[in-house]
Amino acid sequence: MGTSIRSIYLAVDSDCQAEGMHLPPGKYNGVERRLVVIGHQGGAEWLEPAYTVSLTQPRLHQIGGDKWREVREVELDVTPCVTSGQIRLA
């Protein structure tokens, strides 16, 4: 099994929720991860990608409020938002 990882930008066109965090419209730094499974006969099967967004200060504080003031970075799984079309690759 292997993994393909690439840096991407994700665009939020209207408010959405990811792991309980409100994401306002904007462009976000993200990561796309895809697993590849190698079969017994050498064939490769790529699994569906997973997407994450990294929020760092001060943006995390702006979005999450005072309870996030002391947190330096949060990585959110936004895969459900991407597959539903709430977030798109920019």
* pTM more than 0.95: no
Q: Report the pLDDT value the prediction gives residue 30, as an integer from 0 to 100.
A: 96
Per-block mean pLDDT, blocks of 10 residues, the chain (90 long): 92 92 93 91 89 90 78 93 96
Q: Report the pLDDT value the prediction gives residue 76, as an integer from 0 to 100.
A: 95
Q: Report the pLDDT value the prediction gives residue 12, as an integer from 0 to 100.
A: 96
Q: How far apart are the C-alpha atoms of 10 and 30, rounded to whole Å? A: 6
Q: Which of 18, 34, 5 is nearest to 76 (CA)?
A: 18
Q: Report the pLDDT value the prediction gives residue 67, as an integer from 0 to 100.
A: 78
Q: How far apart are the C-alpha atoms of 6 and 25, rounded to whole Å? A: 22
